[in-house]
Structure 1
Amino acid sequence: MMMKKTKLSLLFASFVLAGTCLISPDIASFAAEFKSPLIPVTKDFKLPNGLRVILSEDHSTPVAALAIVYDVGARNEKKGRSGFAHFFEHMMFEGSENVGKTEHFKYIESAGGSLNASTHPDFTNYFEKLPSNQIELALWLESDRMRSLKVTPENFENQLQTVKEEKRSRIDNQPYVPASIKMEELLFDNWANAHPTIGTFEDLEASTIDDIKSFFRTYYAPNNAVMAIVGDIDANEMEKLVRKYFASIPSQPIPAKPDVAEPAQTKEKYLKVPDQHAKAPAFWMSWKAPARREPDYYALGIIQKLLSAGESSRLFQRMVKGDQNALKVDVGYDERRGPSALESFVVVKPGFTPEQVRESLWSELEKLKTTPVSDQELEKAKNQILHDLFASSSYESLQRSLGRAELLAEYACFFGDPSLIDKDLEAYLKVSPADVQRVAGKIFTKSGATIVDVEPQGPEKPKQTAKAQ
């Protein structure tokens, strides 16, 4: 196992440096060397209360990682109660029956570990990474807050103020970020997909303690979660510990699945947004996109790499270096289990208008539709996919116990089968030039585009009243 990891480290360290990607001699033969499954599962079981647990032993280093995915995100919220999923990411560190406020951090960090959490449109996750002889500590902490989170008026008010400050500092007072939220609200027609994960102050302030308790009871139940533990563990002993800490937590009625259906867009959408913090004009141009694991998902992932992965990408070479009409250009794939988004963001160079810059962008998109991508360029994009999965510098790297734990928990929660990680890699490697053309033609239509122009605007000056003569 260590030899395999070392080989991967050496190979992929040369792949992506300074925004460029080198070509592997033969990507197909290299892919054939992958040991399947990519993440060996030692044990996969479900407790009587519905909690699914996946264990993967790896004794190469004395480290273990625990990841829990709860099947709840912004899409599960109700109108008038937005922001609850993100709010609970904060509440989960406010203490439980046997753990004081913020002590979760102190316990893990004092044991030499790290931890974090994140909220998404379609899930919320929590994780700890520790020396393997301390992993029982994470089990105790996670089970205590799943069982007995302290949902009190004091904790609610404390975290309400924290979330408000987070929104002000990370969204409201950042250039271009408020426009990105407006873009998603305009792009999606279904409120479940369109509203921002952080929610609104009005909705949170209008909620009651009973609302908060009901949300916790509904979505933070063992039968609405998947836990994965990866690393230097004994799977048999770990199963005993999991049962010790989690088996007595009661299950709850299974929550209803949200309706995330989106109508096809048939007409371009446009909005202009003033921005007091932006120094240069910019624009977002986006399209509705396939959900994770839908047939066209893989080709669109390759297209995103072709367009925007590093300084050798098509849009950087055309717009930043060639036409020199953009200061920054980026394309991201907001991948979700339901309707997703392919989003481009461009900062306009002085001397050009957004309309002129969009002509360059549309020109490159048209090339994807009309001219087959070369084998060499396609192979480079696939190498970048492989880099994301294997390079030690990548967040989701399979070389990291935490990366493996999060992938196992996500795939088991989302799709019911962690072995689909292997199937997804195979699907990426099978994408052909014809697939790229077909999917580009389907996605990049002018009638399906949503455009948000960002117009720099200085802060409002106080009005002066005329003085009497």
Structure 2
Amino acid sequence: MSRKRLYSPQKNTDEQESTGEMAVQKAIPFRVPYSLHTIDNGLRVVLSEDHSVPVVAVVVLYDVGARNEPPGRTGFAHLFEHMMFQGSVNVRKGEFYTYVEDNGGVLNGMTSSDFTIYFEVMPSNQLELALWLEADRMRSLQVNQENLDNQREVVKEEKRLRVDNQPFSYARGILLYELAYDNFANAHSVIGSMEDLDAATLEDVQRFFRTYYAPNNAVLAIAGDFEENQALEWVRKHFGDIPPQEPPQPVDVSEPERGQEKRATYTDRLANLPAIATAWKVPPRHSPERYALALLDRILFGGESARLHQRLVKRQKSALAVSGGLEDRRGPGLFTTFVVFKPDRDFEHVERSIYAELEQIQQKDVQPRELQRAKNQLRAERFRGVWGGMYGLQTPLGRAMELAYHTLFDGDPALINTDLQRYLDVTAEDVQQVAQRFLVPTNRTVLYILPGATGAEQ
């Protein structure tokens, strides 16, 4: 077992210095205290004590996502997000929710291309319960034929609800990625192929669980109101005897450089309006260029004052909805735009308008005021969070999640305290340079989405 303390909690009282009759209040920088540990079976544990409120967050982050699925085995990572709630040796099917919610907690799980994550937010006196629940399913998940068959049908229904019966969902969320990426590990969707899930055997699924749901392939993060020594004792008690597995084979997520634009057209049978989706390949998370791309995201898409909304919706009145931005991945990511526009406007006109705004950034400096506004937005999102504020650094859950991400993806939880400055140091010239380098025709994928719903104007 290795243990390393990297930061100590800082006092929350304001320090003052007397200068004559006036007192100057010194701002205390926001820092997340944490310590990093590795127990004997390889489980990495990140702890962050904060006694502000009697709440604790527990996050288990597994190093498995859609990127780990080979051809013919897609959808397994997402399937296991559902399987993990189907019972274990000491927790019967459905009881996981009952244990958490009846004790005043909330819980959820998510799957992405890069990871699968589970969390509980509990009253601080229920920390050991959350650890016991997570350890029990890591050790002894009930991966049997009944649960496989049941959850396979649940995933199919989810796809029917969220993809097959939603306008633009397939084109924007699946087809665009299949076109934009050349490497299968990056291109296929998280929900996967229903044919692959139907073909999966119980042995296939059990092997997937043994390989990826192992302590040495996971990070456990705890943030909030607890005592570090007691938390470590409980972690060793509940997780310490779970055997490690052979490390999974690394995944090649590299992308070849593309020398020409790729274009496609798709008729969406549920869409009443036309739309254009575009994508450019960009470097992975924490590459030097990523910080400027994140600011460019907010300059182009950050609310109604952002450039593309102002041009397409306000001034030209051609678009009805504009969205997009930077997708953060461990491997090559995408910078996307998605524009739904009025049926009396043609595709070429709207597409040219998008590129005209990009060219303004490529050829002229970003204005200091809009760059500062983008930095303010990013800073606010980081602390306040999105989706109702659940995931901001002002919450135990937001701190636990970010510590887990930095530990697993970057090998350095210290980034929770230093990464923001990299964004704040971005210059207008940096933003211009990433636009010039990456948002170019030869690196671009363009998808025209034709409305195919009954009665839609063509």
Q: Which bin holds the TM-score, normalised by the shorter protein? A: over 0.9
Counterpart AA for 1:418: P
CA apart distance, 1:135: 1.2
- TM-score scaled by length of structure 1: 0.90
- TM-score scaled by length of structure 2: 0.92
SS at match of 1:328: strand
1:241 corresponds to which of 222, 227, 234:
234
SS at match of 1:129: strand
Instruction: Name the structure 2 match of 1:157.
Output: 149
1:300 corresponds to which of 289, 293, 304:
293
Conservation of the 8 A alpha-carbon contact between 1:273 and 1:452: yes
Q: Deviations over 1:250-278 (max 9, x none)?
A: 00001111011101121111111111111
CA apart distance, 1:421: 2.3
Once residues 120 and 445 of structure 1 are traced to their aligned partners in structure 2, the CA distance between those partners, rounded to angstroms, is 27
Once residues 286 and 74 of structure 1 are traced to their aligned partners in structure 2, the CA distance between those partners, rounded to angstroms, is 20
Matched, 1:386 2:382: no
Once residues 174 and 350 of structure 1 are traced to their aligned partners in structure 2, the CA distance between those partners, rounded to angstroms, is 19
Q: CA RMSD in A?
A: 1.8
Once residues 269 and 11 of structure 2 are traced to their aligned partners in structure 1, the CA distance between those partners, rounded to angstroms, is 53
Counterpart AA for 1:118: M
Once residues 68 and 288 of structure 1 are traced to their aligned partners in structure 2, the CA distance between those partners, rounded to angstroms, is 30
Conservation of the 8 A alpha-carbon contact between 2:63 and 2:408: yes
Q: Which of 1 and 2 has higher RCO (CA within 8 Å, sep 6+)?
A: 1
Q: Equivalences for 1:5-20 in 2 at 5 Å?
A: none
SS at match of 2:118: strand
Instruction: Name the structure 2 match of 1:117.
Output: 109
1:282 corresponds to which of 272, 275, 288:
275
SS at match of 2:402: helix
5+ long unaligned stretches in structure 2 = 1-8, 15-25
Q: Equivalences for 1:70-219 in 2 at 5 Å?
A: 70-180=62-172, 181-219=174-212
CA apart distance, 1:333: 1.4
5+ long unaligned stretches in structure 1 = 7-31, 461-469
1:425 corresponds to which of 416, 420, 425:
420
Change (3 A) 1:417 1:290: same
Conservation of the 8 A alpha-carbon contact between 1:2 and 1:60: no
Q: Deviations over 1:87-128 (max 9, x none)?
A: 000000000001111211111000010000000001010000
Q: Equivalences for 1:215-230 in 2 at 5 Å?
A: 215-230=208-223
Once residues 380 and 272 of structure 1 are traced to their aligned partners in structure 2, the CA distance between those partners, rounded to angstroms, is 36
Instruction: Name the structure 2 match of 1:327.
Output: 320
CA apart distance, 1:350: 2.7
Matched, 1:438 2:430: no
Once residues 242 and 130 of structure 2 are traced to their aligned partners in structure 1, the CA distance between those partners, rounded to angstroms, is 16
Once residues 418 and 56 of structure 2 are traced to their aligned partners in structure 1, the CA distance between those partners, rounded to angstroms, is 26
CA apart distance, 1:394: 3.3
Pairs aligned (count): 434
Counterpart AA for 2:189: P
Conservation of the 8 A alpha-carbon contact between 1:310 and 1:316: yes
Change (3 A) 1:67 1:425: same
1:269 corresponds to which of 258, 262, 271:
262
Once residues 10 and 165 of structure 2 are traced to their aligned partners in structure 1, the CA distance between those partners, rounded to angstroms, is 46
Counterpart AA for 2:255: E
Once residues 105 and 407 of structure 1 are traced to their aligned partners in structure 2, the CA distance between those partners, rounded to angstroms, is 24
CA apart distance, 1:279: 1.2
Instruction: Name the structure 2 match of 1:9.
Output: none
- The sequence identity of aligned pairs, in percent, is 49
CA apart distance, 1:2: 12
Matched, 1:35 2:35: no
Once residues 109 and 185 of structure 1 are traced to their aligned partners in structure 2, the CA distance between those partners, rounded to angstroms, is 39
SS at match of 1:451: strand
Q: Deviations over 1:330-381 (max 9, x none)?
A: 1221110001011100001131012111111100000111111111111110
1:52 corresponds to which of 31, 44, 50:
44
CA apart distance, 1:3: 10
Change (3 A) 1:289 1:242: same
Once residues 269 and 28 of structure 2 are traced to their aligned partners in structure 1, the CA distance between those partners, rounded to angstroms, is 50
CA apart distance, 1:33: 4.6
Conservation of the 8 A alpha-carbon contact between 2:10 and 2:33: no
Counterpart AA for 2:452: Q
SS at match of 1:296: helix
